[in-house]
Amino acid sequence: MFAAEGIRILRTPPQAPRANAICERMVGTLRRELLDHVLIVNERHLRRTVTVYQVHFNAARPHRSLGQLAPALAETQPPEPIDLAGSRIRRKLILDGLISEYQPAA
């Protein structure tokens, strides 16, 4: 079935639990943060939802291993601290409010 769709199957080596660790971590993150909260109705809906989440994950979601930076910002300097008492914050809803991103208002 997979070969008919042009999907190449990669086998993990036997008795090597870390060989697939990055993929397993991402699948777990997708399930916990996205798929456990959204009812997927078809393949098109799944692709659109995962694409929106992927953009959020790489551009806005903080990662502990990167010093609370998003992967897209990992190569740059950390942003300047913002005085939250003196500025307004704008909330951007992602995936119909499942996820929120916060930015200083202009």
Q: In the chain, where are the structural domains located? A: 3-76
Burial class of residue 78, CB neighbours in 10 A (0-12, 13-18, 19+): exposed
User: Computed from CA positions of residues 87, 93, 94, 97, in that sequence, does the dihedral angle turn out positive or negative?
Assistant: positive
pTM of the predicted model, to two decimals? 0.72
Task: Provide the residue type at 66 as one letter.
Answer: L
Rounded Cα distance between 63 and 79, Å, is 14
pLDDT digit string, tens, across residues 43-99: 999 999 999 999 999 998 888 888 888 888 888 877 778 788 888 889 999 999 999
Q: Which residues, in sequence order, are bridge partners of residue 69?
A: 63
Answer whether residue 17 shows pLDDT above 80. Answer: no
The three-class DSSP label of residue 94 is strand
